[in-house]
Structure 1
Amino acid sequence: MSVVGAVAAIVRRDILLDLRRRVEAGSMLVFSLAAGVLSAYVMRGAAGVNTAAASVAFVLVLVFLAVFGSLSSFVREADRGTLDGLRLAPVGAETVFLAKFVYSFIVVSVQTLVFLLAMGFFAQMESVVSPTVFLLALVSSMYLAAVSSFTSAILVFSEARAVLMPVMVLVLVLPYVQSAVPSIVAALAGGAVNATEVVWLALAALTFTGMTVWLSRYVLEAI
């Protein structure tokens, strides 16, 4: 089986399992929608929308989704007793990790777009539907998905994973957030964002993703 075929098969399997667990999938959509509505309500004021507050809400939702993803990636496989079967599949460890990354990227991207659209609609922020905001959301989702999958793989059998995962996610996300927030604030304010900044963030996300895929061969063989 080719790498692309194996990744597609694992991702399809995870998506079908999510669709069967309608309560869990629906709860995440409800969370993103509710977070968008609540953020819009809090930000609305006599002086208009506070774009700095909007960017903070956006980053916090991304971090929450990354933590949720880390608890529902390799950890969920271990809890269901299917992790050993996945590791014994006739594909490399990097392929398994890449499939989990793609699945996490899809989940985080969808939830992020739901949040942004809800916040933009209820706060009447036309800048939210700009291509720049969507591009920054996708790039950020890529980085967060890599963090989520890598954290889940490392702490899958840790007895303190419920505590360690949020901490590890925050530690790995912080450097990216510090670089991305100025661009996110500018984009949500409807201002111009330098294309170089977006390209740099995309390269950072791709580089980190590549590093986690490469390291996954040692992480997955050790668990």
Structure 2
Amino acid sequence: MGVLGAVVAIVHRDVLLDIRRRVEAGSMLVFSVSAGLLSAYVMRSAAGVNAAATSIALTLVLVFLAVFGSLSSFVREADRGTLDGLRLAPIGAEAVFMAKFIYSMAVILLQTLVFLASMGFFAQIVSVLRLVVLLLALVSSMYLAAVSSFTSAILVFSEARAVLMPVMVLVLVLPYIQSAAPSIVAALAGSPVSLLEVGWLAAAALLFAGLTVWLSRYVLEEV
């Protein structure tokens, strides 16, 4: 089996496992819808539609999803006793990490889109449907998936992982949020955002994702 086939097989397996865990998958969807509804209610009732408040709500949801992804990536494999099997498979640590990264990115992106749709519907924010907002959500999901998978791989066997993972996620996510926040605020406010800004954020996300994939060979051999 080639590297691509191995990645696809692992992702397919994770999709089937999550489909069987309907309660967990459903609870995440309920969280995204509820977070969108609550954010819309606060913004509409308190101070009208506010782009800065919207971006803060989106950032908090993304960080929460990244933490959830950390606890359900390599940690879940370790709890099920299947992590050693993945590490010993003749496909390379990078392929295993890439599969987890791709699946985490898909999950985070889906939940982000559900949150945006919920908030946009209840708060009547049409700007959440702009292409640039969706592109920013995609880029942010990519970066957060890399953070999520990398954090999960490093702390998979740590006894204090429940405490350390949120802290590590926040530390790694903070530089990206500082760079992306102005673009997110402008996009949600309906202001023009250049593709160059989105391109720089995408380049940063791809660079960080590539770095975590490269480091995964050492991380997964040590845990």
TM-score range with shorter-chain normalisation?
over 0.9
Partner of 2:59: 59
Partner of 1:188: 188
Cα deviations by residue, 1:123-163 (Å, 9 ceiling, x for unpaired) = 00000001000000000000000000000000000000000
User: How do residues 205-220 of structure 1 correspond to structure 2 at under 5 angstroms?
Assistant: 205-220=205-220
Partner of 1:171: 171
Partner of 2:19: 19
Partner of 2:2: 2
Aligned partner letter, 1:157: F
> What SS does the aligned partner of 1:91 have?
coil
Partner of 1:201: 201
Which 10-residue stretch deviates more, 47-56 or 203-212?
47-56
Aligned partner letter, 2:113: L
Partner of 1:48: 48
Give unmatched runs, 5+ long, in structure 1.
Answer: none
Which TM-score applies when normalising by structure 2?
0.99
Aligned length: 223
> What SS does the aligned partner of 2:186 have?
helix
Cα deviations by residue, 1:178-222 (Å, 9 ceiling, x for unpaired) = 000000000000110022110000000000000000000000000
The separation in 2 between residues aligned to 1:170 and 1:36, in whole angstroms, is 21
**Are residues 157 and 40 of structure 1, via their aligned partners in 2, closer, same or farther at CA, if it must alter by over 3 Å?**
same
The separation in 1 between residues aligned to 2:68 and 2:36, in whole angstroms, is 17
Cα deviation for residue 88 of structure 1 reads: 1.2
> What SS does the aligned partner of 2:169 have?
helix
The separation in 1 between residues aligned to 2:46 and 2:207, in whole angstroms, is 43
Aligned partner letter, 2:191: G
RMSD between superposed Cα atoms in Å: 0.8
Give unmatched runs, 5+ long, in structure 2.
Answer: none
In the alignment, is residue 34 of structure 1 matched against residue 26 of structure 2?
Answer: no
> What SS does the aligned partner of 2:113 have?
helix
Which TM-score applies when normalising by structure 1?
0.99
Partner of 1:125: 125
Partner of 1:70: 70
Partner of 1:86: 86
> What SS does the aligned partner of 1:193 have?
coil
Cα deviations by residue, 1:86-111 (Å, 9 ceiling, x for unpaired) = 11112000000000000100000000
Partner of 1:112: 112
The separation in 1 between residues aligned to 2:68 and 2:29, in whole angstroms, is 13
The separation in 2 between residues aligned to 1:46 and 1:103, in whole angstroms, is 37
User: How do residues 151-166 of structure 1 correspond to structure 2 at under 5 angstroms?
Assistant: 151-166=151-166
The separation in 2 between residues aligned to 1:171 and 1:103, in whole angstroms, is 22
Cα deviation for residue 46 of structure 1 reads: 7.2
Partner of 1:95: 95
Which 10-residue stretch deviates more, 45-54 or 179-188?
45-54
Percent of aligned positions with the same letter in both sequences? Answer: 79
Aligned partner letter, 1:98: M
The separation in 2 between residues aligned to 1:138 and 1:121, in whole angstroms, is 20
Partner of 1:143: 143
> What SS does the aligned partner of 2:53 have?
helix
> What SS does the aligned partner of 1:44 have?
helix
The separation in 2 between residues aligned to 1:157 and 1:47, in whole angstroms, is 45
